[in-house]
Amino acid sequence: MARLKYASDMDKSVLLNNFETRGWVPVGPDDDWNFYWANVQSIRNVFSIDCGFRLTDDQVISHFPNHVELTRKDLMVKNIKRYRKDLDKEGNPLAEKDENGRYIHLDFIPQTFMLPADYNLFVEEFRKNPNTTWIMKPCGKARGVGIFLVNKLSQLKKWSRDSKTSNFTPPTSKDTYVISKYIDNPLLIGGKKFDLRLYVLVTSFRPLKCYLFRLGFARFCTVKYNASINELDNMFVHLTNVSIQKQGDDYNNVHGGKWTVQNLRLFLEGTRGKEVTDRLFDEMQWQIVHSLKAVAGGISNDRHCFECYGYDIIIDDNLKPWLIEVNASPSLTSTTSSDRIMKYKLINDVINIVIPPGQVPDVRWNKIPAKEHLGNFDVLYDEELAQQDVMGGDPRKLGPGTFRGKRDGSRPSPATWK
Amino acid sequence: MGDSNYSKAYIQTLIDELKTSKIYTDLQCAAQVEIAKPTLRLSELKKGVLNGLVNSGWDRKLRNAIYRFLQTHPKLQFPSPPPEHLKEPLVFLRKAQQAWEKRILKSLNSMCTDLNIPLARKRPEKEQKEWAQKWTELGIDGPVHFEKTEPKDASVKDLSQFRPVYAPKDFLEVIIGLQNPNYHGSDTPGFYHLWGIVQVPLKVKDIDELRLQYSDMSINQCQSGIDDAQDIPSELFEQERVKLGKKVINTNHGPLAQEFSKKGCPTSMRATLWCQILAVELDEIDILYYEQLKTNVLQHDLLVDSLLYKDVKLTATNDDQYFVFEDFLYQVLLPFSRDTYVLNHFDYNSASPPKSYIRGRLGMDEFAVNYPPNGVIPFHGFAMYVAPMCFLYKETITLYYVFREMYVRYFFRLHSISSHPQGIVGLSLLFESLLQTHESDLFFHLKSVGCQPLKVAFKWLVRAFSGYLSSDQVLLLWDRVLAYNSLEILAVLAVAIFSFRKTNLMKVQSYNAAEAVLADLTTLQVIPLIQLSLFSK
């Protein structure tokens, strides 16, 4: 068993327990580590032009250098919009639109504008439908900080002033916001709103190799959902972030408001039927893959990097999923004991996929993990294997994994995902 | 007609009951419609009307109504036994149940006096309005006064003083103490030597009878819950099963649904299949009835409400599988305790509804009322009977009727003392005898380290495993309870679990260690376990 050296910016037990079980040796980030679980600031240092350093072939690190293309709200939206336009220009059937101009297959983010840059465009859209609610999210923050709901233009006075100024200093990340159409018809279960947290591991962007963790969960609000105008300020009703819900009176420490994806699936299949549930889950996977393809061109595909993203998805009451955002550093704090077990398994499986167990990392390897190392991950999309398959090749191809692990004839075949 | 299975009196009862039910008037109306059809020939009046009724599905509905009657009315024997024998033929058990009931009622009354809360009171107008508004989110404040001036602490304090009237372990103590007065099992070991703690020698099935009964679950038969799992190609079983299931559902025939469910229900069909098996078909009268129950809840506050509220808060709200459905549980349990339809089941339940008296009229029969109105005093964990069904029905009203039917057919047996083979005493004895016969070394070892197996398994049986297994497994298990019309599978599963964890259990040296080995059942797959236990010795 190779005694690898690890560095970690975070003191989380789910990380450290995994390292210790493997008999790895802790070293500092400046030493010769094999495995570095870094936070986003360290990544900037490692890859910075001035003070960065070259990584050797036996070093892997837990972020891609410019992951912000996916994980910052404004950049994600920009990339997805550009991706769709490109597909449209080349006449790809994926970019097909309906009679209202909405994308049929690629409509997975709510309508979004950047502020202050797109303020006027936003106002035009807002005036078309003045009774809708929008959600304002600061670009550079996380965990629900700074988010508020808007249903009157007067609430955005600040940005209207900013957009009228004629100087061209680009706003800093502190000032930019995205404003998205608020999904005011979320699917409610037990009368409460929830969102989904799914973990996606990416080991390479070109070719795209991504894996979906089966043990995702739904985060429930503690308060019954109420779409009325009076409750727009009540963040307990609208925001599902655990950091916010934790402060509510009814927060429960035993379950933490978290429900497994399996229970969600059981409930939906039992109450709504298997076909629509399968379609929902397939669509979520479809959205994840396309969101990754949208940024694949722009992310620097450093072989030393892998990343475990936290995808946040909301399901509306038509059983359509919406991609809300992607987190580069999903929380590894455990709120309940089941949570701790799940996150431990997550890190365990991530490590096993990134470094085949018992070996020293070698970034030149083909990055095709053996089936028994996947653990609770399913292969979501492996572009390399999919291409081989088209050319009549590799019998080891696992196929775009679905939650069901088998192909459903009604889904588009892998070929259309290129 | 010469049907030897059913006596004339039984058939007459059936006909009488049908005549008083809605289906009779519906059939009459439908027959009128048939007669009015111009295509009908006078010479073939009877045949034509019958054919017309059959074609429009009425014979199916009638069959379902008869099926429902058969399920709930056991065949009468001749000479017909007195009513208390229908409830419970063995006198000593009847007496034990009555004594237990007295204890429960005494406990309830003393809680009442201690906390100075009436068993029932009418709600003031303002409170009724508040309740009506908060009906779908009772989880927040619950049955405490909604006056805004009251500080939050006061309401919390109120609830903490309520204790559940009893918990399964109290009930177990009573069962252990049951003794047949005609039978001396004491010092001299008789021919019938029981290792376990249930001392009542009831007749229970042995493994061969169980194998016959559950033969559709044998290992060589594909089952929903194993063979339609995600990683198995669906052509092998799942597709055919789903196709067959759709056909079964379309015929809308109770016995057919029941037969189909013997191999488990596909998840998306379970809700409909259960409704068909339990003959739950909602019409406007049922909807009105539920609304009436809801009004009763709004108008009167019962002490039992606080007990139910506390039970939900202690069990389902803390359960990471069921906490989502908290509000639904109140919307089912509170009306349930006012539903006098439930009183009917006391005809065949050894228990009797507790009686209470109008204030100041203690002991005077004219002023006696059933308390609670449905005669069922909840105990710790009662809410868990409802919780798994929340995965099937998102309209509370369907959930309500399905739960009610499940309760009056099956769940009531799990907390009353009776000699019925599916009563909790019978199930406990079945569990012990199966374990003693087929895992004698395990039983003996556990007994010698001070752990009677029933002491661990009892709570599983009382709750029909709800809250101990993961939710999909509970549903698969309850599929079989409905399909085979028997709770005996609960005892079989309990034995299977002990067998499965035998290696670790043989190493334990104390009761606590044994409990720890059996504490977490959420990873278990029940159907393979049952199959192994029944069919692979």
Name every chain A residue with its beta carbon within 8 A of the beta carbon of B136: 191, 224
Q: Give chain B positions within 8 Å (CB) of A252.
A: 317-318, 323
Instruction: Tell if the CB–CB gap between A190 and B393 is shorter than 8 Å.
Output: no
Share in percent of chain B as helix, strand, coil (round to 5): 60, 0, 35
Does any CB of chain A come closer than 8 Å to the CB of residue B472?
yes
Averaged pLDDT for residues B500-522? 94
Cβ B266–A274 below 8 Å, yes or no?
Answer: yes
Chain A nearest-CA distance from B262, in A, is 18
Within 10 Å of residue B272's Cβ, how many Cβ atoms? 17
**pLDDT surpassing 90 at residue B331:** yes
Residue B216 exposed, middle or buried by CB count within 10 Å (0-12, 13-18, 19+): middle
The whole-angstrom separation of Cα A385 and Cα A396 is 8
Cβ-Cβ contacts under 8 Å between A and B: the total is 80
Mean pLDDT confidence for B21-40:
81
Between B233, B242, B324, which is nearest A220 by CB? B324
Is the Cβ of A233 closer than 8 Å to some Cβ of chain B? no
What does the pLDDT read at residue A292? Answer: 94
Q: Could you read off the pLDDT of B453-479 as tens digits, one per residue?
A: 999 999 999 999 999 999 999 999 999
Q: Which of A271, A336, A338 sits opposite B394 (nearest CB)?
A: A271
C-alpha span between B432 and A355 (Å, rounded): 50
Domain ranges for chain B: 8-80, 173-266+410-535
Give this complex's ipTM: 0.87
B510 token code pair: 């104390």
**B270: nearest CB among A259, A260, A270:** A270
Tokens at B175, concatenated: 């069962």
Question: Would an 8 Å CB–CB cutoff place A223 in contact with chain B?
Answer: yes
Q: Do A338 and B267 touch (CB under 8 A)?
A: no
pLDDT at A164: 59
- For residue A255, give the nearest of B140, B323, B471 by CB distance: B323
Helix, strand, coil: what percent of chain A each, to 5?
35, 20, 45
CB pair distance less than 8 Å for B320 and A267: no
Listed in order, strand segments (DSSP E) in A153-287 are 177-181, 188-189, 192-204, 209-213, 217-220, 258-260
Report residue B425's pLDDT band, with 50, 70 and 90 as the boundaries. Answer: very high
Q: What is the pLDDT of residues B244-260, one digit of tens each?
A: 999 999 988 899 999 99
The DSSP H or E segment spanning B300 is: strand B300-302
Closest residue in chain B to residue A409, using alpha carbons only:
B234
* DSSP letter string, B44-103: GHHHHHHHHHHHTTHHHHHHHHHHHHHHHSPPPPSSPPPHHHHH-S-HHHHHHHHHHHHH
Q: Report chain A residues whose CB lies below 8 A from the CB of B267.
A: 266, 269-270, 274
When CB atoms are compared, the residue of B317, B320, B472 closest to A266 is B472
Instruction: Tell whether B266 is within 8 A of chain A (Cβ).
Output: yes
Tell me the DSSP string of A126-142: HHHSTT--EEEEETT--
With contacts defined as CB-CB under 8 Å, which chain A residues touch B234?
Answer: 406
CB of A336 within 8 Å of a chain B CB? The answer is yes
- Distance, first Cα to last Cα, chain A: 39
pLDDT tens string, chain A, 418 residues long: the values are: 578 999 999 999 999 999 999 999 999 988 889 999 999 888 888 888 777 778 889 999 999 999 999 998 889 999 999 999 998 888 888 888 888 778 888 888 988 888 878 888 888 888 888 888 888 888 877 777 788 888 877 777 776 665 555 455 555 555 788 888 888 889 999 888 899 999 999 999 999 999 999 999 999 987 666 656 556 666 666 666 766 667 666 667 777 788 999 999 999 999 999 999 999 999 999 999 999 999 999 999 999 999 999 999 999 999 999 999 899 999 898 888 888 999 999 999 999 999 998 888 888 888 888 889 999 999 999 999 888 887 754 443 333 333 333 333 333 333 333 3
Amino acid at B161: Q
Query: Using an 8 Å Cβ cutoff, are B453 and B374 in contact?
Result: no
Predicted confidence (pLDDT) at residue B209 exceeds the cutoff of 80: yes
For A102, other C-beta atoms within 10 Å of its C-beta total 10
Cβ A4 vs Cβ A361: under 8 Å: yes
Closest-CA residue to B95 (of B19, B15, B178)? B178
Check B136 against A404: CB less than 8 A apart.
no
Tell me the shortest Cα–Cα distance from A155 to chain B, in angstroms: 31
pLDDT at B530 over 50: yes
At residue B15, the pLDDT reads 85
Give backbone dihedrals phi and psi of B491, rounded to 5 degrees, phi first: -65, -40
Dihedral over alpha carbons A277, A282, A283, A288 (to 10 degrees): 140
Is A191 part of the contact surface with chain B (CB cutoff 8 Å)? yes
Q: Report the DSSP beta bridge partners of residue A327.
A: A310
Given this model, what pLDDT does residue A233 score?
63
Write the pLDDT tens digit of every residue in B117-149: 888 888 888 888 888 888 887 876 654 433 333
CB proximity under 8 Å: B 270-289 to A: 270-271
Length in residues, chain A = 418
Q: Which residues of B148-180 are buried (b: 16+ CB within 10 A; e: fewer)?
A: eeeeeeebeebeeebebbbebebbbebbbeeee
A368 burial (CB, 10 Å; 0-12 / 13-18 / 19+) is middle
Residue B535 CA to residue B537 CA, distance in Å, equals 6
Give the DSSP letter string of A56-79. Answer: PTT-EESS-TTTHHHHSHHHHHHH
At residue B519, the pLDDT reads 93
Say whether residue A26 is in contact with chain B using an 8 A CB cutoff: no
Q: Which of A259, A271, A338 sits opposite B271 (nearest CB)?
A: A271
B140–A223 C-beta distance less than 8 A: yes
Q: Considering only alpha carbons, which residue of chain A is nearest residue B318?
A: A254
- A92-97, Cβ contacts within 8 angstroms, sequence gap of 24 or more: A93/A416, A94/A416
Q: Measured between CB atoms, which of A220, A223, A266 is closest to B267?
A: A266
Q: Using the beta-carbon criterion (under 8 Å), do B317 and A252 form an inter-chain contact?
A: yes
The pLDDT, as a whole number, for residue B73 is 75
The count of C-alpha atoms lying within 13 angstroms of the C-alpha of A212, restricted to the half-sphere facing its C-beta, is 27
Contact with chain B for residue A259, Cβ under 8 A? yes
| pLDDT beyond 90 at B151 | no
Which band of pLDDT confidence, cut at 50, 70 and 90, is reported for residue B232?
A: confident
Whether B391 has its CB under 8 Å from any CB of chain A: the answer is yes
What distance in Å separates residue A318's CA from the closest CA in chain B? 15
Tens of pLDDT, residue by residue over B335-383, are: 999 999 999 888 888 888 888 776 666 666 676 778 888 989 999 999 9
The pLDDT score that the predictor gives to residue A417 is 38
User: Is the minimum CB–CB distance between B318 and chain A shorter than 8 Å?
Assistant: yes
pLDDT confidence tier of residue B199, bands split at 50, 70 and 90: confident
Q: Quick one: DSSP state of residue A172?
A: P
Kindly report, residue by residue over B426-443, the tens digit of the pLDDT: 999 999 999 999 999 999
Percentage of chain B with pLDDT > 90? 45
Distance from CA of A198 to the nearest CA of B (A): 18
Task: Please judge whether A258 and B320 are an interchain contact, meaning their C-beta atoms are less than 8 angstroms apart.
Answer: yes
What was the pLDDT predicted at A381?
Answer: 92
Q: What fold characterizes domain B173-266+410-535?
A: Cyclin A; domain 1 (1.10.472)
Decide if A191 and B136 are in contact by the 8 Å CB cutoff.
yes
CB contact under 8 A, B324 and A266: no
Of A191, A259, A338, the CB nearest to B137: A191
Write out the E strands in B318-470: 355-357, 368-370
A376 in Cβ contact with A343 (< 8 Å): no
Phi-psi region of A192 (alpha: psi -120 to 50; beta: other; left: phi over 0): beta
